Structure 1
């Protein structure tokens, strides 16, 4: 899924090219300690016997030093610099790159274990993994302060295979830059698709020439990584917490490895059977209509903006005819011009829909911009500028294997149609042309079918989520009889990250066999659209 549009560029700590990590201690199997051979000038041996001794010594060393098993867990330094004094253990999960090939090379995945503050922590920690695919689980995770889960149990992060700090990382810098060009309106439509496809072909060549097996980077493989980590950490059971794309990942764990799962937390659900790219545009449109309707039924907002849908349509159409003259900060744009067309207007509102504090102000943003007052819209557009930070090789490996083979290209194209009224914005995660360039093996049909499970599961959905609508959360209930769905009014993508949601989650983890108390969720007022009618602060 597209994810947040606020992009940033960060230095990669782990080196995919060398296969090592700065500051990480790892066992090496590639060559003996030459000092043990005892070769000195005092021996005065002819070259033949010296060679024989070398071979004998090497054979004895190899026999005495077996190759470390895979999978394995190697304790070592953290992938990011952590706050001193906190109890954070780190290491690398070493697993096969392609689990379907007996001779596959090994890859290394960073693991961070934040230790509980409790005197007697629960024996079942939480494993959290973020959205994407292509986002990093460990980036910026420097401290456990403020994490309520640590009051009762350990909290574990696993970097997904191919993500930023994994070894190797499936990064495509040219794609990241092109995504920035799209955000700035300098690259769009068929030209954007063509440029991305060509760049993907080049990135694929670079990665495969370095020995990367792109078919190894799947949701199924990551689900197996998760199970390997549980066993290597000697955990009888644990609790899985998935956000956005990783909800699909955790559902795959339930399909493949349910025994070790005590409970599951899912936030902003992407079920495997939904065809995301076929409805990406209408999901966004659904959220915008919630805003339009919310304003209409609010006395103050409705009185000030009685024609909000018409204003929105006019704003997008105006920007498509002539790019809006926004005064953007040169530092945010890299000194390059930004063409704010209809797609950029819609992308800006898409970003606002992810921020619960900004959602009630969307009517004012649209109303002001429709009358030539662009201050609030400018800030949103500005925040969207710059290259993406995703590991796009991972993103395309997963999406082109597991989503595109089951999707209808005509329905996908309809999501970009001008008739949808969204300025031709493309909310799809990948296009058929891009996936042809990436050229990975299609996943088996099971990856596009619902998951059935009796594991206790708590599901959060945000009312205004433009990516994963609440209906997708509710649809899980028919196949998961021990699941509970909680819709958070006024919230969006990442609905549980709120005091009420976290409180419900904590209570659920204490006893997943009981229906959670959701009183605080029922009391949420939701978006107060009267704020759009108040004078700007």
Structure 2
């Protein structure tokens, strides 16, 4: 399983705005800093400076938590914890703790309504994404609130399972779609489940509806009358659920890399792959040098998927930080999943595909292995939350046959063995049978209907959450502004200054964001091999 989030390894992704490739050096500072009184609703204390309770939840100020890498954006943040019921149907039962950090507005103008950040994944920790938000200028005029979703790295309990990440690293030499690989995959999932249940976690309580309620409690516990929401990737699924179940106190919502709850599952990842790949291939075709050197790129790619699924190739590559050569097997499933992330380094994709077609798999193998073996790939994703979402909200309402049909609609030439494992979600139904949590009510997949001003942003090369998901969601949001940022991959805000400008202007004017920068955007200059 690969979480639906922007990839972080710098060998797989071009350098993002000092965020997803890992934070720079620096020490986290605990402590509370003063905020101008005009930033606070009703003249009360700044968010994050007072202990407050709401129902069975309670916020307490305290030191900032340890993060896997230093996050300079959190220096001087006001921090604390929100304690909530693990299962709200048993409010007096076991409690869990979520870390909270409030980063102050940078400018002299200080709007009274902060922005709360909904992290991706599912399973990413919001505090580890803080650098992305701040580098993108989200705190220009507003405080930005970050809270770890339940089970994530800075929460308690922490539902990470390094054994799953280590399995992905150790399985680089295996055939991706082989039944034997599937059995090992499920064994790793089952071992994760057993380790978490030994820690007494109620795995059925880690889901989108409980997380939405956590954020509703946080707003009240921080004394915030109105706030704005910004969600990326899976955080858009959470944001849409939050709008539907807890609309009170929400001034506006931005969602980027849209994953609609009503569509979430394996079939939509096939649609996303088709749209993202086609966007990249079409950009190459429109560039004369690229089209001349790499003609019929889509046909070449699909032919490679069929060929490699029948006859996988194995090679050895050197990966920084590894003691020796790493053995990598590339079959059709690997090639598809590699490209869903490689759209982030679009300029080199045509050359990589062409070299693979001519018998040189090194570039693809190096990127594939680099992502799996990066230190940032081990022990950071909350698989307990991810499987809670996948297995409680997705697989109960989508069969394995649905996934295959979804893939065949958009890639009719792919072998069944490739279509059975949706991009980013291999062996998911078998994993969920091992995970064994109750299905949430079907209403978790309801379409969100709202008149809250909403920025619905997609990326033209997004092969992880389909660009067409944006207009789909906007149909039932009466005050939606729909934007597609061309030539960038999943989560436009992460790598497009234009997307960042549109986002910040939206929170200033939720019904009239400035989209003028879109007219100046140009495609990448694709690499041409000598």
Relative to the length of structure 1, the TM-score reads 0.81
Query: What is aligned with 1:464?
Result: 461
1:70–1:129 distance in 2 versus 1, CA, 3 Å: same
Q: Deviations over 1:44-81 (max 9, x none)?
A: xxxxxxxxxxxxxxxxxxxxxxx997311111111135
Aligned positions of 1:227-246 closer than 5 A:
227-246=216-235
1:491–1:412 distance in 2 versus 1, CA, 3 Å: same
Q: Are residue 439 (structure 1) and residue 436 (structure 2) matched?
A: yes
Aligned positions of 1:312-391 closer than 5 A:
312-320=301-309, 321-329=311-319, 331-332=321-322, 336-353=326-343, 355=344, 358-386=345-373, 388=378, 389-391=380-382
Contact in 2 for aligned 1:182/1:188 (Cα 8 Å): no
Q: Are residue 499 (structure 1) and residue 497 (structure 2) matched?
A: yes
Gap regions ≥5 residues in structure 1? 9-21, 26-66
1:145–1:482 distance in 2 versus 1, CA, 3 Å: closer
Query: What is aligned with 2:402?
Result: 411
Query: What is aligned with 1:517?
Result: 514
Worse-superposed segment, 94-103 or 454-463 = 94-103
CA drift of 1:376 comes to 3.3
Q: Are residue 532 (structure 1) and residue 527 (structure 2) matched?
A: yes
CA drift of 1:164 comes to 1.5
Contact in 2 for aligned 1:271/1:472 (Cα 8 Å): yes
**What is the rounded CA distance, in whole Å, between the counterparts of 1:68 and 1:288 in structure 2?**
47
CA drift of 1:5 comes to 4.9
1:75–1:142 distance in 2 versus 1, CA, 3 Å: farther
Q: Are residue 278 (structure 1) and residue 257 (structure 2) matched?
A: no
CA drift of 1:23 comes to 11
Q: Deviations over 1:389-411 (max 9, x none)?
A: 42111110111111111112212
CA drift of 1:315 comes to 3.5
Aligned partner of 1:73 among 52, 59, 82: 59
**What is the rounded CA distance, in whole Å, between the counterparts of 1:508 and 1:134 in structure 2?**
27
CA drift of 1:291 comes to 2.8
1:280–1:158 distance in 2 versus 1, CA, 3 Å: same
CA drift of 1:442 comes to 0.6
Q: Are residue 102 (structure 1) and residue 99 (structure 2) matched?
A: no
Worse-superposed segment, 514-523 or 247-256 = 514-523
SS of residue matched to 1:496: helix
Q: Deviations over 1:83-113 (max 9, x none)?
A: 5994311111100000111332110000111
Name which one, 1 or 2, has greater alpha-carbon Rg.
1
CA drift of 1:305 comes to 2.2
**What is the rounded CA distance, in whole Å, between the counterparts of 2:5 and 2:222 in structure 1?**
31
**What is the rounded CA distance, in whole Å, between the counterparts of 1:282 and 1:135 in structure 2?**
23
SS of residue matched to 2:282: helix
Q: Are residue 402 (structure 1) and residue 398 (structure 2) matched?
A: no
**What is the rounded CA distance, in whole Å, between the counterparts of 1:144 and 1:340 in structure 2?**
35
1:117–1:313 distance in 2 versus 1, CA, 3 Å: closer
Aligned partner of 2:170 among 171, 177, 181: 181
Q: Are residue 124 (structure 1) and residue 113 (structure 2) matched?
A: yes
Query: What is aligned with 2:474?
Result: 477
Query: What is aligned with 1:489?
Result: 486
Contact in 2 for aligned 1:319/1:340 (Cα 8 Å): yes
**What is the rounded CA distance, in whole Å, between the counterparts of 2:294 and 2:192 in structure 1?**
48
Query: What is aligned with 1:221?
Result: 210
Gap regions ≥5 residues in structure 2? 11-27, 32-52
CA drift of 1:428 comes to 4.9
**What is the rounded CA distance, in whole Å, between the counterparts of 2:333 and 2:133 in structure 1?**
38
CA drift of 1:483 comes to 0.7
Worse-superposed segment, 112-121 or 264-273 = 112-121
1:145–1:98 distance in 2 versus 1, CA, 3 Å: closer
